[in-house]
Amino acid sequence: MHYWKLLALIFVPCLIAQEPAFTPGGRGGPNQGDKGITAAIAGAKEDPAAFERGAKAYAANCGGCHGATGRGSVGAPDLVRSLLVLDDEKGILIAPVLRNGRPDEGMPKPNLSEEQIADIVAWLHVQTYSAGHRSTYAFMDVLTGDAKKGEAYFNATCKGCHSATGDLKGIGARYDAFALQARWLQPRGGRGGRGGASPSSNKPVTVTVTLSSGEKISGTLDRVDDFSVSLRDSRSDYHSFTRDGATPKVEINDPMKPHTDLLGKYTDPDIHNMTAYLVTLK
């Protein structure tokens, strides 16, 4: 049993990219635990100290041919995509190669202790785990925009609903930059992506149902499809109606709709500038 693969099945919600995973908030997003190499070490179930020692031993003995990140170079194979490495458990396959080299294929016999071999094995397992598991991927640098331009954009576009000294006061302190960018773009949280913002408690969607008698019932939308609509009124009483085409009349008001409407209007610099501005609202 490959424990890291078993773990992958348990902890990684989506192993292959085929299908939408219709989970709010996406995967591997900001503020969801450790990322990068720390997550890969944990995911691969390797000892962090062995990994650290392995990194040094690899760099000193292997990196010259196989590349600093193990991804190969001319004449030396990519170890991260290596079947032997992928098939390995606890060094059973890798260790003989590290002990003896592969003279017939041009790999000299390295001079490594058994401890160093075990450490390099740990380092290699973390590399393959890291490449193959999006849950470990770390965002890099989102603060590339111009805060001044972001402020101007904010004043021109967002001030109808938001205030830097009111509802958004301190927002730059509440989220890291990636979470903030995801959240201001889509406050309800994205769907189906891989790294979206977490769902939030924003203003609810409201609905008004006008019966054929003219009576209007309004409240917080509970559920709507082509065949029924239900809501909770201001006393939290539940109302449910059968829909038949345009009867009864159903009017839905989503206070977050301006965010969705703006998606087709932003340029990418607008987005980066806005994020650069919003992080300054400490």
Name residues contacting another protein, limited to 200-259 (CB under 8 A). Answer: 223-227, 245, 250, 252, 259
Q: Rule CB under 8 A: choose which of 11, 15, 92, 280 binds another protein.
A: 15
Comparing CB distances to another protein, the nearer of 145 and 172 is 145
2 contributes a contact to another protein by CB under 8 A = yes
**Size, binding site for another protein by CB under 8 A:** 73
What is the sign of the dihedral through the CA atoms of 43, 49, 50 and 55?
positive
Q: Which stretch binds another protein (CB under 8 A): 40-48, 51-59, 68-76, 208-216?
A: 68-76
Comparing CB distances to another protein, the nearer of 74 and 156 is 74
Subset of 175-204 contacting another protein (CB under 8 A): 181-182, 185-186, 188-197
CB of 122 to another protein, least distance (A): 19
Q: Which stretch binds another protein (CB under 8 A): 38-46, 114-122, 125-133, 210-218?
A: 125-133
CB of 24 to another protein, least distance (A): 8
CA–CA gap between residue 203 and residue 223 (Å, rounded): 16
CB of 195 to another protein, least distance (A): 4
Contact partners, residue 57, CB within 8 Å, separation at least 6: 112, 116, 119, 120, 123
279 contributes a contact to another protein by CB under 8 A = no
The H or E element that residue 230 is part of is strand 228-232
CA–CA gap between residue 43 and residue 8 (Å, rounded): 8
Comparing CB distances to another protein, the nearer of 14 and 281 is 14
Residues forming beta bridges with residue 191, ordered by sequence position: 24
CA 102 to chain centre: 40
Comparing CB distances to another protein, the nearer of 40 and 120 is 40
Backbone angles phi, psi at 152, to 5 degrees: -60, -40
> In which residue are the tokens 């839905």 written?
252
3-state SS class at 51: helix
The H or E element that residue 175 is part of is none
